[in-house]
Amino acid sequence: MTTVTMTVNGKPVSENVEGRTLLSTLLRDDLRLTGTHIGCDTSQCGACVVHVNGEAVKSCTMFAIEADGAEVSTIEGQANADGSLNVIQQAFQDHHGLQCGFCTPGMVMTTASLLKENPKPTEAEVRTYLEGNICRCTGYHNIVKAIMAASGQDVSAIAAE
């Protein structure tokens, strides 16, 4: 066992992990932050996306030891300080960007990365950026709409009104 230390959503944490412990396992099983979902466990679906040092990664495809010393943020750290939904989360709610909600944590985390890199993406850029995030419910249109809205853009032209 190795002791790893990192900050998760701004709080310092320290845990004993095995070499093979995935970051997703540390977050979900040790820290009980179960908002990070495991959809496939084969780096296909993106439900497990978190940020490590500000970059989106699939936490099912990174070892906990590799995050030693890092700043990690998960869906649990996304709400505003007063507990209200942040702009992205609110836009997903307003535009019905989720149905079962299983993919949503990964969608929100990926969206946060997108808007940091590209504050006003086109619809095509949004769809391309979401290539690693699979949703089995919505058909994506309302997710794209939510992201366009979160970036302060007009959503009236987006399909599946």
The residues binding other proteins (CB under 8 A) are: 2, 18-20, 22, 41-43, 46, 49, 55-58, 61-63, 65-66, 68, 110, 113-114, 129, 131-133
Contact partner, 13, from ligand FES, other proteins, ligand FAD, none, Cβ < 5-8 Å per class: none
Residue 105 found at the interface with ligand FES (CB under 6 A):
no
Contact partner, 66, from ligand FAD, other proteins, ligand FES, none, Cβ < 5-8 Å per class: other proteins
CA angle (119, 128, 142) in 5-degree steps: 75
7: CB partners within 8 A, 6+ apart: 13, 70, 71, 72
Please, which residue, 139 or 157, has the CB nearer to other proteins?
Answer: 139
Least Å distance between CB 18 and ligand FAD?
A: 18
CA–CA distance from 144 to each of 78, 108, 119, 135 (Å)? 19, 11, 14, 12
Question: For residue 2, how many other CB atoms are within 10 A of its CB?
Answer: 12
The only residue of 26, 28, 35, 39 in contact with ligand FES, by rule CB under 6 A: 39
CA–CA distance from 70 to each of 46, 105, 141, 146 (Å)? 20, 20, 34, 30
Residue 56 found at the interface with ligand FES (CB under 6 A):
no
